[in-house]
Amino acid sequence: MIRTRFAPSPTGYLHIGGVRTALFCWLFAQRNAGKFILRIDDTDQERNVQDALKPILDGLKWLGIDWDEGPEVGGPFGPYYQSQRTELYQAAAEELIRRGAAYRDYATPEELQVERDAAQAEKRDFVYSRRWMAETPADAARFEAEGRTFVVRLRMPREGTLTIDDHIRGRVEFQWAREQDHVVQRADGSCLYHLANVVDDHAMRISHVIRAEEHLSNTPRQIFMIEALGYERPEYAHLPFVAEPGSKVKLSKRKLDKYLKDRDFAKLVEHGRQIAQAIGAETKLDEFNPVVVDFYREVGFLPDAVVNYLALLGWSLDDKTEHFMPSDLVKHFSLDRVNNSPASFDPVKLQAFQDRHMQQLPMAQKTVMVLPYLQRAQLVPAPAGADVEAKVTRVLEAAGDRIKIAGDVLDFAEFFTADDELPYDEKAFDKRIAKAADAPALLAKFREVLAGCDPFDAPTLDAALHQFVEAEGVGIGQIIHALRVATTGKGVGLGMFDTMAILGRQSCLTRIDRALARK
């Protein structure tokens, strides 16, 4: 049975790099009819674990990365919160000592530092002297009599080679002598990450440890514990980093300021911010930024598009296939096609995937997706009636590829605002109506044509306008722009005839009159 896990810390947000790791774990489990386990690494004992966890669970769910065992769903190997498993870790630390693979160390941090400094001065690697190692209860008693406290250290081998066959890196060798006697239990009795990790992976029967490359160097000490404890060694796959845009440095939420200097990144943030403002959402830079998964949900990306992009950040099927739905990924994913060099996160390319997925989204789903944005912007009533939904669909149909993320509907607010409240783009109004020589006259005249147009649909309107300009002996450009500004308040928009048809005769006439009167 293939079992993989993702073990996030409850940090309050789901990082784009982290979620890529989760995705690969999930995909691998799915592909092999295995289980994907979510384990919460809350050993730091933050007080609001649940609050800090929620965005992470929500993000995973939104993307469709569901877990077979973990928070909310439980499972046979719980609890799935590391803070609730401390006795297990302490017992393991005891066991390690009992088996001679670890020892109580009574050195003070200062004493250790002296040894370290000495090693450095002599330009040799630091190797702990084990001078304050308690080998017997008598030693321990003696040290304790001196008022010392202990930590538990691993008694690492000082010779030999460790070989790891990593599914992505291939064969990697480490010299045991380079490893330190790492601490696994603190003086206060709490246990460190690596121990907890080993214990939980074993207890939860994890067969494949799929994690970021930063853990590769930490693997030897974990394997040491695994073998000392008599556990079975899992398979390993160390994923390359997700790096900053245009770089090979690991992506980090902290460095948003830096990323904002990237033009494309800044544009995305700005775009998202406008949408968020229109719908009254929070835009604190901390959570509202493209390094955090929540950002994409807020502004209306398609989860499938994000998953598609993320999957291709380090994995590929072949030299041409790029469009994948989650089920396709599940069908084709394999660890051997994960490449081993860091991939930099490119928001522009993510957008391209979004565009493609959006283009293929059935209209009914698109409507459902877009509706909440109109509602939150108060352009449409909260339970939308069938007529409203029908209108939204018509706008969507006319908009075609222009709506790239759900929040983009708000670019077409003119279809939902009252005629007498329609705002004008002053520049466009000036150019197309106020300062356009014959446009107002043409507009007034065409208004009468419109009044008699029947049926009031796009083809009829199209024919009517063409007939009109021909009769007047003018080019279509001389009136159509003015018509657009008059009916929508804007210089750019959907096809003119679709626009008028959706607006309906009455709105068109009212708006034209209003624009003409304004001039």
Partner RNA sequence: GCCCCCUUCGUCUAGUGGCCCAGGACAUUGGAUUCUCAGUCCAAAGACAGGGGUUCGACUCCCCUAGGGGGUACCA
Among 5, 15, 85, 194, binds RNA (CB under 7 A): 194
- The single residue listed with the structure tokens 């796959």 is 237
Q: Which of 324, 342, 319 is nearest to 239 (CA)?
A: 342
Q: Does residue 178 belong to the site contacting RNA (CB under 7 A)?
A: yes
How many angstroms separate the CA atoms of 171 and 165, rounded? 4
How far apart, in Å, are the Cα atoms of 113 and each of 102, 118, 119, 180, 183? 21, 8, 10, 14, 15
∠ CA 170-171-173 to the nearest 5 degrees? Answer: 140
Q: Does residue 43 belong to the site contacting RNA (CB under 7 A)?
A: yes
Beta strand 343-344 with 242-243 is parallel
CB 516 within 8 A of CB 431: no
Site string for RNA, 227-256 (x = CB under 7 A): -------------xx-x--x-xxx------
How many angstroms separate the CA atoms of 97 and 76, rounded? 29
Q: Does residue 174 belong to the site contacting RNA (CB under 7 A)?
A: yes
The H-or-E segment that residue 421 falls in is: none
Q: Does residue 48 belong to the site contacting RNA (CB under 7 A)?
A: no
Considering only residues 336 to 375 of the shown chain, the ones binding RNA according to CB under 7 A are 336-337, 339-344, 346, 348-349, 352, 355
Q: How far is the CB of 479 from RNA (least distance, A)?
A: 9
Site residue total, RNA (CB under 7 A): 78
Q: How far is the CB of 358 from RNA (least distance, A)?
A: 10
Q: Does residue 266 belong to the site contacting RNA (CB under 7 A)?
A: no
Comparing CB distances to RNA, the nearer of 126 and 416 is: 126
Select from 289-297, 310-318, 389-397, 412-420 the region that touches RNA (CB under 7 A).
Answer: 310-318
Q: Which of these is catalytic: 250, 253, 258, 445?
A: 253
CA 59 to chain centre: 7
* Token pair listed for 229: 């404890």
At 170 the three-state DSSP class reads: strand
Considering only residues 95 to 114 of the shown chain, the ones binding RNA according to CB under 7 A are 108-109, 112
What's the burial of 472, exposed, middle or buried (CB within 10 Å: 0-12/13-18/19+)?
middle
Q: Does residue 222 belong to the site contacting RNA (CB under 7 A)?
A: no
Comparing CB distances to RNA, the nearer of 169 and 445 is: 169
Which amino acid, 28?
F
How many angstroms separate the CA atoms of 242 and 19, rounded? 10
Q: Does residue 308 belong to the site contacting RNA (CB under 7 A)?
A: no
∠ CA 348-349-353 to the nearest 5 degrees? Answer: 120
Q: Does residue 157 belong to the site contacting RNA (CB under 7 A)?
A: no
* Token pair listed for 238: 């160390």
Comparing CB distances to RNA, the nearer of 167 and 376 is: 167
Comparing CB distances to RNA, the nearer of 66 and 322 is: 322
Among 314, 326, 407, 440, binds RNA (CB under 7 A): 314
Among 44, 51, 66, 286, binds RNA (CB under 7 A): 44
Among 172, 229, 281, 325, binds RNA (CB under 7 A): 172
Torsion sign, CA atoms 406, 411, 412, 417? positive
Q: How far is the CB of 457 from RNA (least distance, A)?
A: 13
Q: How far is the CB of 54 from RNA (least distance, A)?
A: 18
Comparing CB distances to RNA, the nearer of 34 and 407 is: 407
Q: How far is the CB of 224 from RNA (least distance, A)?
A: 14
Q: Does residue 493 belong to the site contacting RNA (CB under 7 A)?
A: yes
At 390 the three-state DSSP class reads: helix
Select from 134-142, 285-293, 319-327, 372-380 the region that touches RNA (CB under 7 A).
Answer: 319-327
391 is catalytic: no
* Token pair listed for 59: 């993000």
Q: Which of 396, 398, 354 is nearest to 371 (CA)?
A: 396
Considering only residues 6 to 35 of the shown chain, the ones binding RNA according to CB under 7 A are 9
How far apart, in Å, are the Cα atoms of 198 and each of 47, 82, 175, 214, 225? 25, 12, 20, 16, 7
CB 190: neighbour CB atoms within 10 A?
14
Comparing CB distances to RNA, the nearer of 287 and 355 is: 355
Q: How far is the CB of 366 from RNA (least distance, A)?
A: 14
Q: How far is the CB of 367 from RNA (least distance, A)?
A: 18
Considering only residues 399 to 418 of the shown chain, the ones binding RNA according to CB under 7 A are 400-402, 404
Where on the phi/psi map is residue 494: left (φ > 0), alpha (ψ -120 to 50), or beta? beta
Q: How far is the CB of 280 from RNA (least distance, A)?
A: 25
Select from 50-58, 307-315, 360-368, 437-445 the region that touches RNA (CB under 7 A).
Answer: 307-315
- The single residue listed with the structure tokens 């799935």 is 80
Select from 229-237, 293-301, 368-376, 491-499 the region that touches RNA (CB under 7 A).
Answer: 491-499
Q: How far is the CB of 267 from RNA (least distance, A)?
A: 10
Select from 51-59, 289-297, 318-326, 365-373 the region that touches RNA (CB under 7 A).
Answer: 318-326
- For the chain, what is the radius of gyration of the CA atoms? 32
Task: Check whether the bond before 290 is cis (ω within 30° of 0).
Answer: no
Q: How many residues does the chain have?
A: 519
Q: Does residue 316 belong to the site contacting RNA (CB under 7 A)?
A: yes
Considering only residues 423 to 482 of the shown chain, the ones binding RNA according to CB under 7 A are 476-477, 480-481
CB 160 within 8 A of CB 231: no
Q: Which residues are catalytic?
A: 253
